[in-house]
Amino acid sequence: MIGLGNMGTPMALNLLAAFPHSLSVTARSRDRAAAVLSAGASWVDTPADVAEASDVVVLMVPDLPQVDELLFGDRGMAETPATCVVVVCSSVSPTGIRATDDRLRQQTEGRMRIVDAPVSGGTEGAAAGTLSIMVGGTEADVNIALPLLSACGTPVHLGPLGSGDIAKACNQLIVAATMAAISEASVIAERSGLDLDALLTLLQGGYAGSRVLETKKDRLVERDYSPTGAARYMVKDLSFAHAAAVETATAAPILDALRGQFDGLVAAGLGDDDLAVIHRYIRDPEQPR
């Protein structure tokens, strides 16, 4: 596995729990891998070494440029004669992942193939092993990856390569819309003198309840925007949803409005905070960080 951040580390620990002493990792420093090394992972020095040691390589990095660097950069995976399935759990462009797969198959004469498997459930789901995992790829390659993905949550094969990332774009549209709606409602309630904690607790028991409200309620009440995942990543995810809407000739006015909100949030210097920071942005959009 490569990509031992807030999501990757708990996923790696779940892999080790299911498959002890079977995980090879690399990172920019050993310190970043300390938790998984202590749990029984093996350290290797380069992405090429990971490929040589593995039948399946899981990547959890920010976006496609980082995936391409790991595959095709200096001491990248494609330099080796290894045969493996590369599972990209990052949220990336569906068309981009298909192009990367074509290049990888050509450079490795088909020895390496990609499965896209973006996840939803946040750091809480990653730690608990309850992620929703949206999978795209050939049936043969997905069948190789499924036992490992099952250690991290519930994987569902949705179609050919790129299907997972289309599903993740749809997921992010719903998450962004829900977070924005909760935040708007919270600002209205606060300015109307309501007890926000009491209100959101009440709403969670009705039709307005959601997983987003459950996990973000306390952050809104306490105005805690410390990051579990950076809000700026929503900009790229919504851009993938926009591309899919254009490709399918789908009018998406809610998506368009959300893109404007999150672009503005990032321009205001709030992009490195938690997704809940849209609450602050709605409350005072003219106040930069």
What pLDDT, in 10s, does the model give residues 200-247? 999 999 999 999 999 999 999 999 999 988 999 999 999 999 999 999
Mean pLDDT of 19-27: 95
Beta bridge partners of 43: 25
| Phi (first) and psi of residue 43, to 5 degrees | -85, 135
> Whole-number mean pLDDT of the chain?
96
| 168 is a catalytic site residue | yes
- Find out if CATH 3.30.450.40 is the number for domain 8-160: no
Mean pLDDT of 260-279: 96
Question: For tokens 């962004």, what's the residue?
Answer: 176
Residue closest to 67 by CA, chosen among 37, 112, 35: 112
- Which residue in 168, 216, 217, 236 is the catalytic one? 168
Q: How confident is the model at residue 30 (pLDDT cuts 50, 70, 90)?
A: very high
> Under a CB-based contact definition with an 8 Å cutoff, are residues 104 and 112 in contact?
yes
Percent of the chain, pLDDT > 70? Answer: 99
Q: How confident is the model at residue 42 (pLDDT cuts 50, 70, 90)?
A: very high
Let me know if 251 is exposed, middle or buried by CB neighbors in 10 A (0-12, 13-18, 19+). Answer: exposed
Residue 289 has pLDDT above 70, yes or no: no
In CATH, the architecture of 166-283 is Orthogonal Bundle (1.10)
Residues with Cβ within 8 Å of 228's Cβ and at least 6 positions away in sequence, in order, are 6, 122, 123, 274
Mean pLDDT of 73-99: 97
Query: What pLDDT sits at residue 54?
Result: 97
Looking at the chain, the domain(s) classified CATH 3.40.50.720 span: 8-160
Q: How confident is the model at residue 267 (pLDDT cuts 50, 70, 90)?
A: very high
Q: How confident is the model at residue 288 (pLDDT cuts 50, 70, 90)?
A: low
Looking at the chain, the domain(s) classified CATH 1.10.1040.10 span: 166-283
Residue 143 has pLDDT above 80, yes or no: yes
